[in-house]
Amino acid sequence: MTTKVWAIRAAEVDRGGSAVSSQELSKYLNREYVEMREAILEYLKHDLFKPKYDLSFYEFRDLTQERLKHLAKGNFISCFDHINNPGRFFAGMEALTYVDYSITIKCGVHYTLAGGAIALLGTRKHHNKYLPLLDSGKLPGCFAMTELGHGSNVMGIETTAVYDHARKSFVLNTGSDLASKVWIGGASQYGRLCTVFAQLTVGGDYKGVHVFVMRIRDDEGKLCKGVRIEEMGHKMGMNGVDNGRIWFNNVVLDRDSLLDRYASIDEQGIYHSPIKSIPARFGAMVGALSTGRVCIAQSAVDACKLGLTIACRYSSDRPQFGKRKIGSYLTHKRRLAPGVAQTYALHLIMIQLKGLVNDRHDPKKIHNLSSGLKAAATWTRVDVLQKCRECCGGMGLLSENQIGGMIVDMNVDVTFEGDNTVLMQQVVKGILTKGITKPEPIQVRNYSTEELLQALKYREDVLKYRLLQLGDLDANQDTCVDLGWAYADYLTAENFFKEVQRAPPALRDTLEELAVLFALEKMERNAVFYVCDGVIDADGLEKLRQRVNDQCNVVSGADGEHLNILCEGFGIPEHLITAPIAKGWRDFHTSPEIGAKM
């Protein structure tokens, strides 16, 4: 069997008098923590990270656990970076999506959730005791927040922790099956350490939700006293993660088990917290854990990069109806080019978000932006990967071609780390301010950069004003979600056009073409709003459709070959683009064993 080598790296293509290099694009996009990024991508060449598609349920879990252990040996990811250098932590996590989403989430649970909770909600005694063991992979961690009866409503959880001053300990209980912790990644088989959310009572006084760190298994893997765990079962995807359900029955935890950055209990049994309000204290605790949403959003963007790389290569190589490549058809360009533009746009604003987290200067802005972008990025991933799958026809169904596996494995990202619909409503509560005046009407005629940004901002402002006039957010939740999207769309577009101006001169034309397509597609997607509000008329709507078509043609090139250059700019190394159809459309089996079985 022969395999065509895709000789496109560092290629240049003429774009209206200017040339763009995929290497220069990659250098610009991947400009942070370059050495670490290159080192971890090289580390992922190990045979352990090569795809395997014929494993049993438990074999896949064992492989995922071995992958985590091997990553720990590389010392790329450290829970201490939550405190010292969040940007480095993000860089260590990002490449994993190209391998498999199970290892991404396995590491996310271990390092981001369990480790992050201890790092950001605990104090030095917790850091010194647990973080080195988590970093080394010797103490597998999990994170128990979600309950059977409470998903998004974390303040309503029913697991209880009662402080017993006579024993200077907490007694943890699951009051009913509704209070059992569910979908806890790592709990079913391998987890030994767990961070647990519970309602705290001290001296008969209710103190609200707090977080505790505890062992659920001993060093031999035996369940600790009072802990019961059951298997959640086979899932539609992401079966490398061992999700479990946990009950606690009079589990005794020592006083130091309370993660006490925001609240503590002294030797006399007196409760102390610098934040007196229970809701405000809860907000500070969960707000400190925004790292998880950032990682989920970035993984969604990275999945788009991989899916688009495969689909664009296949489309520009696959002939149909003679020698004409399927990537030359407008309908193909319409499905792929906007996805490339969206992925560039989201990648660039994620750099801004990670910078905010690294600086820690504006917690409210971090919460609003991370919530909005997590929802926007994961919903975009759903749309982009489905179009990539369709653009590859039947070949997109093969597990070896990577896209289908990402679709089912990552489907959960729209509801975990915050249900997207709920997150968008949280964003609205964070950005609505009194005193907003009714925006002055605008009209878009030429679809210039200025008009595009003005139109996206106008939609956000009108929806803000409309919601303030309506008053009852619960009765207008659909408009809340629309406003959350409008907020994310405008900030992403605004940032993209700013990036165009900051970019090296040789890249500006290319990036501007993508930024324009991003904004045009957002306007077209919300055309009903713009027509109803008089921003465009019927003729303008037709002009918008044609502008999107023209921009897709410009960005794609004749056969879609320009899209390959843009996807090369993502900087995904060839050893992680394992899909056979990304190497040559005729070859769709790289594994003789799988080929023989089929």
Quote the CA–CA distance of 208 and 577 in Å, as a whole number.
Answer: 47
Angle at CA of residue 318, ends 312 and 323, nearest 5°: 130
To the query of whether residue 417 is one of the catalytic residues in this protein, the response is yes
- Residue tagged active-site, from 158, 417, 460, 513: 417
Residue-wise burial string across 322-361, b where 16 or more C-beta atoms lie within 10 A, e elsewhere: eeebbbbbeebbbbbbbbbbbbbbbbbbbbebbebbbeee
Determine the Cα–Cα distance for residues 428 and 472; give it in Å rounded to an integer: 12
User: Can you tell me the distance from the alpha carbon of 367 to that of 573, in angstroms, rounded to the nearest whole number?
Assistant: 33
With b meaning 16 or more CB within 10 Å and e meaning fewer, what string describes 448-487?
Answer: eeebbbbbbbbbbbbbbeebeeeeebeebeeebbbbbbbb
- Residue 35 contacts by C-beta under 8 Å, 6 or more apart in sequence? none
Name the burial class of residue 587, with classes exposed (0-12), middle (13-18) and buried (19+) by CB atoms within 10 angstroms of its CB: middle
The annotation status of 104 as a binding-site residue, yes or no, is no
> Which single residue is written with the structure tokens 């003429």?
14
Distances (CA, A) of 416 to 105, 162, 184, 369, 378: 11, 28, 11, 17, 10
Q: What token pair was written down for 260?
A: 């006490």
Compute CA 351 distance to the chain's CA centroid, rounded to the nearest angstrom.
13
Tokens representing 261 are 């950055």
Residue with tokens 């957010």: 473
Question: Between helices 420-431 and 363-391, what is the axis angle to 10°?
Answer: 140
Which distant-in-sequence residues (6+ apart) come within 8 Å of 425 by Cβ? 473, 477, 480, 481, 484
Q: How far apart are CA 174 and CA 182, in angstroms?
A: 12
φ/ψ of residue 325, rounded to 5? -75, 145
Nearest of 126, 19, 146, 36 to residue 85 by alpha carbon:
36
Residue 269 among known ligand-binding residues? no
Which tokens in the block code for residue 166?
């006579």
Q: Which residues are catalytic?
A: 417
Binding site for FAD: residue ranges?
146, 185
